[in-house]
């Protein structure tokens, strides 16, 4: 059967996974009466909750006797490492662009990578049925983007389709909506424009690069990749080579799985060009070469952009450690982090000298927050520090820091406060233009450390109307010190359960972060101080009871509801001497040093140093 391998790449929320749903339905891969969840490929629990794709997934459909392998990719910049690897596995790409928003930072990132590996993308302008669509301006912006990314003449001659992924139709003209044809124009374009897999001959030895890694409770490690040359049969002997050519292991393929619609079916035989998943090997991982025993040279794996943000994961040593989770020791935390780093090439894990803490580096705080949330649901307890940026040393010994391109779409009335806040964070504005509907698009180059925690502040400043997108741009000389948090914190001075009466009397000191009846311990952060210094308070003090009866009944204590911190907000809000304690049931903020005297000693040494 003829083969086509294609990836769908776009910015977050531009409709990739929804389009894949319709491609599956219209190609007959899903029965008419089959119950399929919306965004069927977002199978992960966190993906469904957040409405974003985190892990790349493969599926396949048959159209006009041609099997089309489709890879759905994440649209969030923090998970860009997934997209970079996927592009080595396909021969074509569909760039999906929102007809109103136009090309966004992640569109630029993935398109640049696609052009670099020589793909000739198909442009699909999606959501054309939106009332604020502006397809002609968006098409011009896409063309300018291709030019700015040094596309070849062949790549600049890209085909365009217009349509609505949710409604399930595409057409060659913006006004050519024909629901009876559905997605046929897009299918036909894939067959005519995407070349057959560029691979070695079927007669050469078997070779394949691992692209997606997952763990299966029954089959063990499953590696997905495209066969570059040769044939693969069940029970065949293979060896695994690292990127440097070192032998990792010898083994046998216990199962070959092919993608058929939403299912993965076992097959006995696959050949060059096929995208398959293989099981049976214990050590082979992403970017390794799986090959015939006679092969000596590994295949070239595309280099991956480096991580820009790092956090410290520590063993939870609070007085409440081990009461809510069952995986608390440094050994199990270390094994879990190393396992995650194996499958996620954009993540880097290093051990510290203390042995009970680890440095975990990634692309952004969202990627690290997703990892923490996943571990928490698996029963792990960890204490994590505030994210810090990864600095580098320049040629002249100067300190370099990561700079991000930030695109903020905001109503005109709020643009002033956004510009002011961004300039306080050492950001440099490079573009300001209208983006339709009374909104403006502001583009900045800003230091990554200035953006940590800015998302929630931006939404407060703009009454929830602003949309911010970020993308790593470059390493540039250090921009100078930034102003940190202006408020101190309220710290519990004893262990016990918080009492409503005590919290009511503390309300004029600042807003609370906890409810009454919650377990607290000395050194735990229970509120935000209205001043800039930290204050130790007693939240356990109950009302003194007397035998005097008053004529009026005592008023019930009415507390102001506490501030609810999300994990991402808590990570960005804490200071360098504080930690976020994450367990399967709760999230607490605390000082690194729980003892008052230790905290004072630490503060003195910091001021002296």
Question: What is the residue-wise DSSP string for 565-608?
Answer: PPHHHHHHHS-TTEEEEE-SS-EEEEESS-SHHHHHHHHHHHHH
List all residues 6 or more positions away from 305 whose beta carbon is below 8 Å from its beta carbon. 80, 81, 84, 346, 363, 472
- Residue 398 CB burial class (10 angstroms; 0-12, 13-18, ≥19): exposed
Show which of 235, 267, 291 is a domain's final residue: 291
Was 32 annotated as part of a binding site? no
Q: Is the pLDDT of residue 41 over 60?
A: no
- Mapping DSSP onto H, E and C, the string for 243-306 reads CCCCEEEEEECCEEEEEEECEEEEECEEECCCEEEEECCCCCCCCCEEECCCCCCCCCCCCCCC
Was 14 annotated as part of a binding site? yes
Was 127 annotated as part of a binding site? yes
Structural domain for 473, as ranges? 392-477
471 three-class SS: strand
- Is the pTM higher than 0.85? The answer reads no
- In-domain check, residue 460: yes
- From the list 494, 523, 500, the residue with the least C-alpha distance to 512 is 500
Is residue 87 very low, low, confident or very high in pLDDT (cuts 50, 70, 90)? confident
Q: Which residue has the tokens 């703009």?
A: 462
pLDDT tens-digit profile of 482-525? 877 788 999 999 999 999 889 988 999 999 999 999 999 999 99
Q: Is the pLDDT of residue 47 over 70?
A: no
262 and 182 assigned to the same domain: no
Token pair of 240 as six digits: 């695994």
Show which of 419, 454, 477 is a domain's final residue: 477
For the chain, what is the domain count? 4
DSSP 8-state assignment for residue 129: T
- In-domain check, residue 198: no
272 and 231 assigned to the same domain: yes
- In-domain check, residue 21: yes
Q: Is the pLDDT of residue 38 over 60?
A: no
- In-domain check, residue 129: yes
- In-domain check, residue 299: no
Q: Exposed e or buried b for every residue in 113-131, given b needs 16+ CB within 10 A?
A: bbbeeebbbbbbbbbbeee
Was 126 annotated as part of a binding site? yes
Was 15 annotated as part of a binding site? yes
Share the mean pLDDT of the chain: 85
More confident residue, 435 or 157: 157
Residue pair 461/413 in contact (Cβ under 8 Å)? The answer is no
Residue pair 110/8 in contact (Cβ under 8 Å)? The answer is no
495 and 585 assigned to the same domain: yes
553 and 511 assigned to the same domain: yes
Was 479 annotated as part of a binding site? no
Show which of 225, 256, 291 is a domain's final residue: 291
- In-domain check, residue 305: no
Was 16 annotated as part of a binding site? yes
- In-domain check, residue 352: no
Residue 512 sits in a domain whose CATH number is 2.40.50.250
Question: What is the residue-wise DSSP string for 400-461?
Answer: EEEEEEEEEEEEGGGHHHHHHHHHHTT-EEEEEEEEETTEEEEEEEEEHHHHTTHHHHHHHH
30 and 100 assigned to the same domain: yes
Report the helix count and the strand count for the chain, using DSSP H and E. 15, 35
- Mapping DSSP onto H, E and C, the string for 349-384 reads EEECCCCCEEEEEECCHHHHHHHHHHHHHCCECEEE
- From the list 591, 564, 568, the residue with the least C-alpha distance to 579 is 591
271 and 189 assigned to the same domain: no
Was 211 annotated as part of a binding site? no
468 and 551 assigned to the same domain: no
Which H or E run contains 501?
helix 500-505
595 and 451 assigned to the same domain: no
Residue 143 sits in a domain whose CATH number is 3.40.50.300
pLDDT tens-digit profile of 191-237? 999 998 877 788 889 999 888 887 777 888 888 888 988 999 989 99
List all residues 6 or more positions away from 538 whose beta carbon is below 8 Å from its beta carbon. 492, 493, 494, 502
- In-domain check, residue 580: yes
254 and 219 assigned to the same domain: yes
Angle among Cα 20, 142, 144 to the nearest 5 degrees reads 160
pLDDT of residue 467: 81
Polymer length of the chain: 609
Was 374 annotated as part of a binding site? no
493 and 467 assigned to the same domain: no
447 and 495 assigned to the same domain: no
Residue pair 398/66 in contact (Cβ under 8 Å)? The answer is no
Question: What is the residue-wise DSSP string for 130-194?
Answer: STT--HHHHHHHHHHHHHHTT--HHHHS--EEEEETTTTEEESSTT---TTTTTHHHHHHHHHHS
Is residue 37 very low, low, confident or very high in pLDDT (cuts 50, 70, 90)? low
Residue pair 424/483 in contact (Cβ under 8 Å)? The answer is yes
Residue 219 sits in a domain whose CATH number is 2.40.30.10
Mean pLDDT of 429-457: 86
Residue pair 578/508 in contact (Cβ under 8 Å)? The answer is no
pLDDT tens-digit profile of 134-159? 889 999 999 999 998 889 999 999 99
55 and 30 assigned to the same domain: yes
Q: How far apart are the first and last CA of the chain?
A: 70
């Amino acid at each position: 059967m003829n083969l086509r391998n294609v990836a769908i790449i776009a910015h977050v929320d531009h409709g990739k996974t929804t389009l894949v749903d319709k491609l599956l339905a219209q190609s007959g891969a899903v029965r008419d009466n089959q119950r399929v969840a919306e965004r069927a490929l977002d199978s992960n629990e966190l993906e469904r909750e957040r409405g974003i794709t985190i892990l790349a997934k493969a599926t396949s459909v048959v159209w006009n006797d041609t099997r089309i392998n489709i890879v759905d990719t994440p649209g969030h910049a923090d998970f860009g490492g997934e997209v970079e690897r996927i592009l080595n596995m396909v021969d074509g790409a569909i760039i999906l662009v929102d007809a109103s928003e136009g090309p966004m930072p992640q569109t630029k990132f993935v398109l640049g990578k696609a052009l670099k590996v020589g793909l000739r993308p198909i442009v699909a302008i999606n959501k054309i049925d939106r009332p604020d669509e502006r397809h002609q301006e968006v098409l011009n912006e896409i063309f300018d983007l291709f030019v700015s990314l040094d596309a070849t003449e062949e790549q600049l001659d890209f085909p365009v389709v217009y349509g609505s992924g949710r409604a399930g139709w595409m057409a060659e003209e913006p006004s050519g909506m024909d629901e009876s044809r559905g997605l046929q124009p897009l299918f036909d374009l894939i067959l005519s424009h995407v070349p057959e897999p560029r691979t070695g001959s079927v007669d050469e030895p078997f070779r394949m690069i691992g692209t997606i890694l997952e763990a299966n409770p029954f089959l063990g490690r499953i590696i997905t990749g495209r066969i570059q040359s040769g044939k693969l049969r069940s029970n065949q002997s293979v060896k695994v080579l690292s990127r440097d050519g070192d032998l990792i292991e010898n083994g046998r393929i216990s199962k070959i799985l092919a993608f058929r619609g939403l299912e993965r079916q076992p097959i006995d035989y696959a050949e060059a060009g096929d995208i398959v998943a293989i099981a049976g090997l214990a050590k082979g991982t992403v970017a390794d070469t799986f090959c015939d025993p006679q092969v000596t040279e590994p295949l070239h794996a595309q280099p991956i952009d480096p991580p820009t943000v790092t956090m410290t994961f520590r063993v939870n040593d609070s007085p409440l450690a081990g009461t809510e989770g069952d995986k608390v020791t440094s050994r199990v935390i270390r094994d879990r982090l190393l396992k995650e780093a194996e499958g996620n090439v954009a993540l880097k894990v290093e051990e510290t000298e203390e042995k009970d803490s680890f440095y975990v580096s990634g692309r952004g705080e969202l990627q690290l927050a997703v990892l923490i949330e996943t571990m928490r649901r698996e029963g792990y307890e960890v204490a994590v520090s505030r994210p810090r940026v990864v600095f580098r040393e320049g040629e002249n010994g100067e300190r370099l820091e990561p700079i991000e391109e930030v695109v903020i779409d905001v109503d005109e009335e709020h643009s002033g406060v956004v510009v002011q806040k961004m300039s306080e964070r050492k950001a440099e504005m490079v573009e300001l233009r209208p983006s339709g509907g009374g909104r403006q698009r502001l583009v900045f180059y800003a230091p990554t450390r200035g953006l940590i925690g800015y998302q929630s502040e931006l939404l407060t400043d703009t009454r929830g109307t602003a949309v911010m997108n970020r993308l790593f741009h470059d390493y540039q000389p250090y921009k100078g010190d930034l102003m940190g948090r202006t408020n101190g914190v309220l710290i519990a001075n004893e262990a016990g359960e918080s009492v409503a009466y005590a919290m009511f009397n503390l309300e004029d000191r600042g807003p609370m972060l906890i409810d009454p009846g919650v377990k607290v311990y000395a050194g735990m952060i229970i509120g935000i101080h209205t001043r800039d210094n930290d204050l130790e308070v007693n939240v356990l003090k109950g009302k003194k009871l007397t035998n005097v009866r008053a004529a009026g009944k005592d008023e019930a204590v009415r507390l102001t509801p506490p501030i609810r911190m999300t994990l991402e907000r808590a990570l960005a809000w804490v200071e360098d001497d504080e930690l976020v304690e994450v367990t399967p049931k709760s999230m607490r903020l605390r000082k690194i040093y729980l003892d008052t005297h230790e905290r004072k000693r630490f503060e003195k040494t910091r001021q002296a140093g």
